[in-house]
Structure formats: C-alpha cells, structure tokens
Amino acid sequence: MLSGATFSITTFGCQMNKHDSERVSGMLQELGMRPVETIPEADVTVFMTCCVREKADERLMGQVASMKNIPLRPASRFSKRYVCIGGCIGQRDGAALLDSLPHVDLVFGTHNLDELPHLLQEVVEEETRQASIIDGRSDFHDALPESREQAWAAWLPITVGCNNFCTYCVVPYVRGREISRPFEEIEAQARSYVSEGVKEITLLGQNVNSYGRDLYGTPRFDEVLDAVSASGVERIRFATSHPKDLSDAVIERFATLENLMPALHLPVQSGSDAILEAMNRRYTAAHYLSLIEKLRQVRPDIALSTDIIVGFPGETEEDFLRTCEIVREVGYTQVFTFIYSKRAGTPADEMEDNTPREVILERFERLRALVEEGALAANKAYEGHLARVLFEGEAKKGSGVAMGKSEHGLTVHVQTESDEAVQALAGKILPVQIDESKTWYLRGSLIS
Ligand code: SAH
Ligand code: SF4
C-alpha cells in the first residue's frame, strides 16, 4: 500500500534525533517508499521532535499547524497527507497530541522507533489514527536499517537514555534509563562501516563516558574507543561527555589513538559551584578546569567546545561572572549558549526563580559577545597552519565554496572553480592551508 509513496522527515534537536531520522528513512525505504526533500512533495511527513527547551516545542506546534495549508502533491494517490510525530515530544505527550492536533495521524515514541513501519501501514490501510508509546525498554534497539545523510560519515549510538537527572533536564524522562549497547555489536558495527567506506564515526550517547555501567562496569568507554580505533576508521569523535565521568584513561586516548580527533565537547553548564550543585551536575568548576588541564597536557592542540545555561533559577550576577571567567580561561572554539527553559516535571521547575527576564537576556547577550570574541581568538591560532579537512559539500548552494571539517572539528571553507569541483571533493580528506579566520569558520586553500 505504501510502496512508491513519498516521505519527508523534519528533524529537531540533537544528534541522537538526527540519527533516529536516518533510521526512520531506512525503515520507510525498506517499505518501498521514496525520500523527498520538502513537505509539499511528500505523501507522508514525519516530525522527529525535541522537548529539551520550550522553543523547540513551540516550533513544532507552529510547523504542524501550518501543515493544514499545504496542498496534497498533484501526483498523490492518497486522499490526504499523513502526518506522524515521533521523538521526544511524541514520547512525552503521546495520545494527547491526537486530541490537540486533529490532522496528525500517528504518534510514536523514542522507545518504539522500530514499530513505525507497521504502525504507519495500519494507519493507512485501516484509515485510523493512533498513538503508540511504550514506557521504556530493557535492551538496546536491534540494529535498524538506516539511510545516512552522508555516505562517509556515520553516527554510532553506544548508549541510549540517561541516569544523571540534571535538575533542569527532561532527557531522562523521555529517553529513559541508560542502556549500553553490547560491546561486540559496537565493534562489528564499526568494522562494517569501515568496509562500506565510512571515514568518520561519531559515537553517540547522552553521556558516553558512563558506557558499561549497566554491564557490571566493564567494558568501559576507553575500551570502546580502543575497539573502534582498531577498526581502522580514519576519524573518531564522540558526544556527549559528562565532566564527572571523564576518566584519565579516556583523556589518555587523545594522546595514544591516532584516529581519535583532537576535539572534545565537554558541557560545563555554569562556572559557579552553587549553581552546578543546584543543577545536580556533581562536579565543581575547579574539577572541570583540572580536566581541561589534563587534556591540554596530553594533547596541547585539543579544541574544546561546551554548553552553557544562562538564568538557571537563583543565578546571581556573581554566579554569572564565574561562568564568564571559565569561558575566558578555557578558550573554547565553540560555545552553545541557552537561556534556561522551565520544563514541567523536572526538579528545577519547582525552584524559586525570581531573576527578572531582562536581567537574564542582558547576561545572555554579554555571554554571547564574550563567546564570539573567544571563538575568533581561538580560530586565529589556526591561520597559516595546515588542516586536514573532510569535505562535506557546498557551503551555500551555487557558491562554488566547498565546506568541510578540520580534525579540530572547525568548519573550513575553500573556494573552487565550480559546483562540480565541490561535488568532487565531497567525502575526501585533503590538506588545506588556512589563510584567514572568521568567528564561525576558517577560510583556506587546497594544497595541490
Ligand atoms: N546529554 C547531553 C545533552 C543534553 S541536552 C549533555 O549532558 O551534555 C543539550 C544541552 O541543552 C545541555 O547540555 C544543556 O546545556 C541544554 N539544556 C538542557 N535542558 C535545558 C533547559 N531546561 N533549559 C535550557 N537549556 C537546557
Ligand atoms: Fe540531561 Fe544531564 Fe543527562 Fe545531559 S547528563 S541528558 S543534561 S540529565
């Protein structure tokens, strides 16, 4: 019934969702469906949603509401467009979404992604609407078919869920308890990616450092890194790391594993010990800085990025200045800054929060200026140096500018003569001379 039908996927949120979208795409293609780029071309539209912050919630609701005004594609053999909501909002709200959004046909959650094909078939064949959510699962998802956005780069989930319960965060409630993927399966998946020509593997998990804790503490994340490194893949990255669990053994790997890229995303969230405690992060600013020092000792050129929340309940000017201090001290190449967003059901939602909105916005702006200044300074250090760039595609359609990522995870732009030249570079790792640094990217030229 669905064979030959077209589908589009709109993804919100983190890399885990992006990877889940690749799996949705793989499963729907196994049904004989064809992926299309835009909603107007699609018979079936899937939204993979995020509820980490309120903004993502609002954007989803806006987009789904506007679906009503998009006409069916002319060649459609269906009497309507099927709208599906998956991911974290699907998990959180379940059947309530069918009530509030009458043109939504199917809601599924984070734990039953694998059921999507048959749920969708039921909706179409039986002309019903349905929500199917399960509370959690005790095993890791079996390997699902996937259709990767880029043939040469793959995400490899090693854990799902989170046990940390940072007080602001909804992830443990919508993604469930942490489950580690069997070690042998990770090894086999890495080897299979390499045989398919994958050049970069990014290991995924809400907190990759605690890998193995549910497997009686062993194997550990450093052993996962060794195994993936032994697959011979050219580049390894991982996200996300929790500072409280970043072990010396993992830090060591930045010196010993040649294919582990010299870049680490290590979310600090705040530079104030009082706020870190209220967030239940379970480390201090001093501990965080000691990790940075160790990392720089083993890998002096390591590029560091982070996440910061501004305006957590009770944050004072003093607390905020501590955050600014840590930003200055570390010298991040990239900082993702977020304004604290109240999430129902989390402990922070109950905390007294009387900082005026204008004060929070003003702090946010100050931090943003500091981050930009820092990123520009960090990028300046690459000028005149050689970078090895994995090219991904065009920076902007029709520009002839090829875009890729350096080993330090920085975006690099290279001007070419034509769109064809850009296409020819995609998927290759080549040396580039860095000529100029901007705030958010570097400009360079290919070394012939
Ligand atoms: N597991 C990862 C990612 C969690 S979500 C980690 O621990 O780093 C990604 C980022 O969103 C977090 O690092 C945090 O900075 C931000 N975030 C999470 N909940 C938030 C909230 N309620 N308000 C504002 N930012 C939030
Ligand atoms: Fe959320 Fe904290 Fe878990 Fe990250 S570690 S997903 S911020 S609870």
Extents of the domains making up the chain: 6-132, 150-261, 269-381, 386-446
What residue's CA is closest to ligand 2, atom 5? 164
pLDDT, the chain, mean: 95
The atom of ligand 2 lying closest to the CA of 281 is 2
Return all residues near 354 (Cβ < 8 A) that are at least 6 apart.
none
How confident is the model over 212-223, as a mean pLDDT? Answer: 89
**What is each CA distance from 222 to 70, 157, 248, 385, in whole angstroms?**
49, 15, 9, 30
Report whether pLDDT(141) > 80. Answer: no
| Ligand with minimal distance to 53 CA | 1
Strand partners, 404: 391, 412
Q: Which CATH number fits domain 150-261: 3.40.50.2020, 3.30.2040.10, 3.40.50.300, 3.30.750.210?
A: 3.30.750.210
Fold match between domain 150-261 and domain 269-381: yes
Cα–ligand 1 centroid distance for 173 (angstroms)? 13
The atom of ligand 2 lying closest to the CA of 242 is 5
How confident is the model over 3-32, as a mean pLDDT? Answer: 95
End-to-end Cα separation, the chain, in angstroms:
52
The atom of ligand 2 lying closest to the CA of 170 is 1
Return all residues near 71 (Cβ < 8 A) that are at least 6 apart.
40
Question: In this structure, which topology does domain 269-381 adopt according to CATH?
Answer: Transcription Regulator spoIIAA (3.30.750)
Distance between CA atoms of residues 148 and 434, nearest Å: 29
User: What class, spelled out in words, does domain 386-446 have in CATH?
Assistant: mainly beta
How much is the pLDDT for 146? 87
pLDDT one-digit tens code per residue, 183-192: 999 999 999 9
Strand partners, 393: 403
The atom of ligand 2 lying closest to the CA of 162 is 3
How much is the pLDDT for 142? 67
Give the confidence band of 324 by pLDDT, cuts at 50, 70, 90. Answer: very high
Distance between CA atoms of residues 143 and 366, nearest Å: 45
pLDDT one-digit tens code per residue, 364-380: 999 999 999 999 999 99
> Per the CATH hierarchy, to which homologous superfamily does domain 6-132 belong?
Methylthiotransferase, N-terminal domain (3.40.50.12160)
Cα–ligand 2 centroid distance for 234 (angstroms)? 29
Distance between CA atoms of residues 398 and 39, nearest Å: 23
pLDDT one-digit tens code per residue, 56-97: 888 898 999 889 889 999 999 999 999 999 999 999 999 999
What single string gives the DSSP state of each residue in 281-318? Answer: ----HHHHHHHHHHHHHH-TT-EEEEEEEE--TT--HH
Cα–ligand 2 centroid distance for 161 (angstroms)? 9
What residue's CA is closest to ligand 2, atom 1? 169
As given in the structure block, the two tokens for residue 399 are 């520009």
Return all residues near 82 (Cβ < 8 A) that are at least 6 apart.
43, 44, 45, 105, 106, 120, 123, 124
As given in the structure block, the two tokens for residue 146 are 């996937």
- Residue 164 buriedness (CB in 10 A; 0-12 / 13-18 / 19+): middle
Q: What is the pTM for the complete model shown?
A: 0.95
The atom of ligand 2 lying closest to the CA of 169 is 1
Does ligand 1 come within 6 angstroms of the Cβ of 340?
A: yes
The closest alpha carbon to 247, from 269, 266, 227, 261, belongs to 266
pLDDT one-digit tens code per residue, 304-317: 999 999 999 999 99
To test the pocket of ligand 1, the residue of 18, 49, 52, 162 to mutate (highest count of ligand atoms within 8 Å of its CB) is 52
Give the confidence band of 136 by pLDDT, cuts at 50, 70, 90. Answer: confident
| Ligand with minimal distance to 346 CA | 1
Cα torsion 208, 214, 220, 225: sign:
negative
Does ligand 1 come within 6 angstroms of the Cβ of 157?
A: no
Give the confidence band of 363 by pLDDT, cuts at 50, 70, 90. Answer: very high
